[in-house]
Amino acid sequence: MSSYLECNARERIARVFDTRSFEEFLPPAARVVSPHLAQLDAPVSFDDGVIVGRGLLNGQVVFGAAQEGGFMGGAVGEVHGAKLAGMLQRAVAERAHAVLLLLESGGVRLHEANAGLIAVSEVMRAILEVRAAGIPVVVLIGGSNGCFGGMGIAARCANTIVMSEEGRLAMSGPEVIETAHGVEEFDSRDRALVWRTTGGKHRYLLGDCQMLVADNTDAFRLAALDAIAATQGHAALTLADLEAEHLMLATRLRDFGAAAEPMDIWKTMGIPDPAAIPMLEAHDFTERVQPFRKGAH
Amino acid sequence: MDWQTLASQLFPQGHTVHEHEQFLSGTGTVDGETVAVIGTTGHAPIGIEIALTQATAVLATVRTHPGRPILILVDTQGQRLRHRDEMLGINSYMAHLGKCIDFARRQGHKVIGLVYDQALSGGFITSGLMADACFALPDATIRVMGLPAMARITKVPEERLTELAKVDPVFAPGAGNYLRMGGLQAIWEDDLAARLGQALREADPVDRRRALGFERGGRKLAQPVAEAVSSGAHVLPS
């Protein structure tokens, strides 16, 4: 059993998919690197920070990708984004059983900002294309860089998000908000506040992530299998799905819009002893909050 | 261009577009056909409320007027940078808006995006960039962030970025760069009403932006890489 957080992208792929079943598309040996980094004297990577391919999950053909947080924080550039989009297209063409996205990204790679922004929008649309073909898309988030910016949006285009407590899912990073509006707005060095605001437990309570697991690769693998099984047959987005999500988001705004900090929200939800929430193990946590969390169908 | 002038030029046959707290909505008539208009103005920061309001308008159009074309007017400074928005899950609100637009497209609504003033990062990928095709006025500003901020984060001197921006469309703000990279279908120079009519007639739900970026030389690798991945081949040297 290994810590998902401590694994790199390749190790995660190797442990989440069936042993030695993953075939990488356009592997590092193909030497396809970002065309934009050299002119900025930035290092390149032979996989441009993302692994895409096809493997087996309990014997079923599942397409997948894993972003490497160790290379530019998993940020999306032209090649990185095109690999994701191409894999998603191929998943539709080959009628994959499911698609598994192991996301870890700061969002758009600023060194190639415009190309990265368009690429993220292409990835969002490609994810929705996969779902429209009836193929479940499951996102796993548990890397140290979290899942931010455009990839935080793209993640929410999937059917299911599985997170660990250590995973973070949001839009703008705390540093960006602190830079824009000062330390009183968001103290990026207050790690406990950062975790309460963007971490897996808060996202699970609000209904932004559907499964919360302990930080180990086996737990992520099992959750992915459960998520895929639960989604088969209704992966495509329907008007009813959108209306349910709309109601959830409108209700959240109405009920928690005046909260000053996440723990106030947990209190308003009726969770007993909200101050103890950050200390609970994943299993104890999910059991205790089950009756209170939002977005559960 | 302010939205009032824009709306009257887009819809010489009349419109009901109005503003409420930086949110634009209403309808306009193009070639005798009613078009739903949804958008933002005043460089609106996209916070959770205005993202949800726009999603409400898209869903209402899908429910009440099946097939009615939708025009998304973009003027935003990007996502709102506040702790409260992050705490409440702004990425979910923005993704919801993007999904509503995508859903409308799949239900047969033609969706056109128009950047008439400013478009930035998160506010753009969940609005104009989710349309069948996105257009811009010549003076529109489109960017992820300004060069000074980019210099700070990438640790590349600003002068160097400014120099590179002259020859490489990948960092520099501007509609022309997004056009070259395929993010924009075209820039509307004149007769906005005729351009909108034409865009609606030619609207195509297939995402062809990588191919456009390749043809126009602004994104030379995206198309071959995606192609190589999806076909199982290798990337041919360009």
Tell me what pLDDT residue A49 has: 98
Decide: helix, strand or coil at residue B95. Answer: helix
Closest Cα in chain A, distance from residue B141 (Å): 12
Whether residue B146 lies inside any domain: the answer is no
Which two structure tokens, joined as six digits, stand for B91?
A: 């990425």
Whether residue A245 lies inside any domain: the answer is no
Q: Which residues of chain B have pLDDT under 50?
A: 238
A179 or A219, greater pLDDT: A219
| Confidence (pTM) | 0.97
Tell me what pLDDT residue B238 has: 45
Whether residue B163 lies inside any domain: the answer is no
Q: Say yes or no for a CB contact (<8 Å) between A172 and B81.
A: yes
Where does the pLDDT of residue A297 fall: very low under 50, low under 70, confident under 90, or very high at 90 and above? low
d(CA A78, CA A86): 12
Tell me what pLDDT residue A225 has: 98
Interface of A with B in 252-281 (CB under 8 A): 252-253, 256-257, 259, 261-262, 265
Interface of A with B in 93-112 (CB under 8 A): 93, 108, 110-112
Residue A5, pLDDT > 50, answer yes
A285 or B170, greater pLDDT: A285
- Give the nearest partner residue to A121 out of B125, B177, B229, using CB atoms: B125
Number of domains in chain A: 1
Q: Are B94 and B129 in contact (CB under 8 A)?
A: no
Whether residue A47 lies inside any domain: the answer is yes
Whether residue A160 lies inside any domain: the answer is yes
Instruction: Give this complex's ipTM.
Output: 0.98
Q: Are A235 and B44 in contact (CB under 8 A)?
A: no
Q: Say yes or no for a CB contact (<8 Å) between B235 and A32.
A: yes
- Give the nearest partner residue to A114 out of B88, B144, B230, using CB atoms: B144
Q: Say yes or no for a CB contact (<8 Å) between A253 and B52.
A: yes
Q: Say yes or no for a CB contact (<8 Å) between A30 and B235.
A: yes
Q: Say yes or no for a CB contact (<8 Å) between A79 and B209.
A: no
CATH classification of the domain holding A16: 3.90.226.10
Whether residue B213 lies inside any domain: the answer is no
Give the length of chain A.
297
Nearest CA in chain B to A187: B83
Residue A51, pLDDT > 80, answer yes
Tell me what pLDDT residue A112 has: 92
Whether residue A272 lies inside any domain: the answer is no
Whether residue A148 lies inside any domain: the answer is yes
Nearest CA in chain B to A239: B103
Whether residue B10 lies inside any domain: the answer is yes
Nearest alpha-carbon partner for A174 in A150, A193, A152: A193
* Phi, psi at B72, each rounded to 5°: -105, 120
Tell me what pLDDT residue B234 has: 73
Tell me what pLDDT residue B23 has: 98
Whether residue A289 lies inside any domain: the answer is no
Rg (C-alpha) for chain A, rounded Å, is 19
Whether residue B73 lies inside any domain: the answer is yes
> Is any Cβ of chain B less than 8 angstroms from the Cβ of A30?
yes
Whether residue B48 lies inside any domain: the answer is yes
What domain range includes position A228?
A: 9-169+209-236
B147 or A121, greater pLDDT: A121
Interface test with A, best of B100, B125, B207, B235 (most A CBs within 10 A): B125
> Is any Cβ of chain B less than 8 angstroms from the Cβ of A92?
no
What domain range includes position B76?
A: 3-137+188-205
Whether residue B149 lies inside any domain: the answer is no
d(CA A69, CA A278): 25
> Helix, strand, coil: what percent of chain B each, to 5?
45, 20, 35
CATH classification of the domain holding B64: 3.90.226.10
Whether residue A297 lies inside any domain: the answer is no
> Is any Cβ of chain B less than 8 angstroms from the Cβ of A139?
no
Mean pLDDT of A144-151: 97
Number of domains in chain B: 1
Whether residue A70 lies inside any domain: the answer is yes
- Cα four-point dihedral sign A195, A162, A21, A19: positive
d(CA A86, CA B229): 5
Nearest CA in chain B to A259: B84
Q: Are A84 and B124 in contact (CB under 8 A)?
A: no
